[in-house]
Amino acid sequence: MCRLRRQASLVLATVVGFSATFTPETAHAAPILVVNGGGILTGAKAVTVDGHLYDVEFVEGTCTAVFGICDEAHFAFTTESAALAASKALGDYIFLDVPGLGNFDSEPMSTNGCFFPANCWALTPYKILGDNFLIAQALNSAVGTDDGFFLHQPNGPGLSIFGSATETIYDSSVDINGVFAKWTPVPDCSPFPGRGHTDGCFPGPGPFPAPEPAITLLIAAGIGAAVVKRRFKWWR
């Protein structure tokens, strides 16, 4: 009986220890830069912004042409802080000089839609104000110390969606150093670390979920019960 009690104590320790090993893990990987055959950076996949993954494309045109409808429902980010975080991510992870791939930091014209050698602005819309839209900007400068991220006219008027007698519709295709950053959330595949990703998901920063604690305890308890049963049969 004493020996059986010792086995039960061992099982309890096994359950607790087994549960402790299944803690949430986080995997991290660099975004995947998308470069066309001409060596021009057209976007990136699996960019982390505020702990979530997004794809980004650098697209020319008017706000309506780029987003289908120029409204907040079609913007990936709808607050100043989120749009600034997205713009910062461009400077941190995308506009970089990558040996063998391209100088996407020191040569701004290596980004799609950028035709001014000194610098280029990537525009992330986040809010509608009347007939205008507000943006956060990532500045990619040939002089690296000038790089940064900013809000453009946060109190308006912003850039024109439709144009009017007093305002010209904003069109990045005629802006030699401006291009839209079009963000799309990456589907949450919720894989376990090391098990790969399903279609439509890209390897990148997590967080990836671990098994639910209750499930973990049930698994551990099952193993523990098997140990007790085996030991008890041997004792008899």
* Residues 65-124 pLDDT 10s: 999 999 999 999 999 999 999 999 999 999 999 999 999 999 999 999 999 999 999 999
CB 188 within 8 A of CB 202: no
Distance CA 219, CA 149 (A): 49
* Residue 218 and residue 153 share a domain: no
In total, how many domains does the chain have? 2
Query: Which two structure tokens, joined as six digits, stand for 223?
Result: 């193993």
On whether residue 191 sits in a domain, the answer given is no
* Residues 192-225 pLDDT 10s: 344 344 444 544 444 433 334 433 333 444 545 4
Q: Provide the domain limits for residue 43.
A: 32-185
* Residue 87 and residue 174 share a domain: yes
Question: Which residue, among 54, 52, 30, has the nearest Cα to 204 in the 3D structure?
Answer: 30
* Residue 61 and residue 6 share a domain: no
* Residue 140 and residue 44 share a domain: yes
On whether residue 142 sits in a domain, the answer given is yes
* Residue 60 and residue 18 share a domain: no
On whether residue 72 sits in a domain, the answer given is yes
- For tokens 């020319």, name the residue: 60
* Residue 96 and residue 72 share a domain: yes
Distance CA 225, CA 8 (A): 9
* Residue 16 and residue 39 share a domain: no
* Residue 116 and residue 76 share a domain: yes
pTM over 0.85: no
* 232 pLDDT higher than 50: no
pLDDT at 190: 52
* Residues 133-191 pLDDT 10s: 999 999 999 987 889 999 999 999 999 999 988 899 999 999 999 999 999 999 876 54
pLDDT at 121: 98
* Cα separation values, 26 from 18, 48, 93, 232, Å: 19, 13, 18, 40
Asked if omega into 207 is within 30° of 0 (cis), the reply is: yes
Residue 200 phi, psi dihedral angles, 5° rounding: 90, 0
* 231 pLDDT higher than 60: no
Distance CA 168, CA 155 (A): 19
Pick the last residue of a domain from 143, 168, 185.
Answer: 185
* Residues 103-118 pLDDT 10s: 999 999 999 999 999 9
* Residue 73 and residue 18 share a domain: no
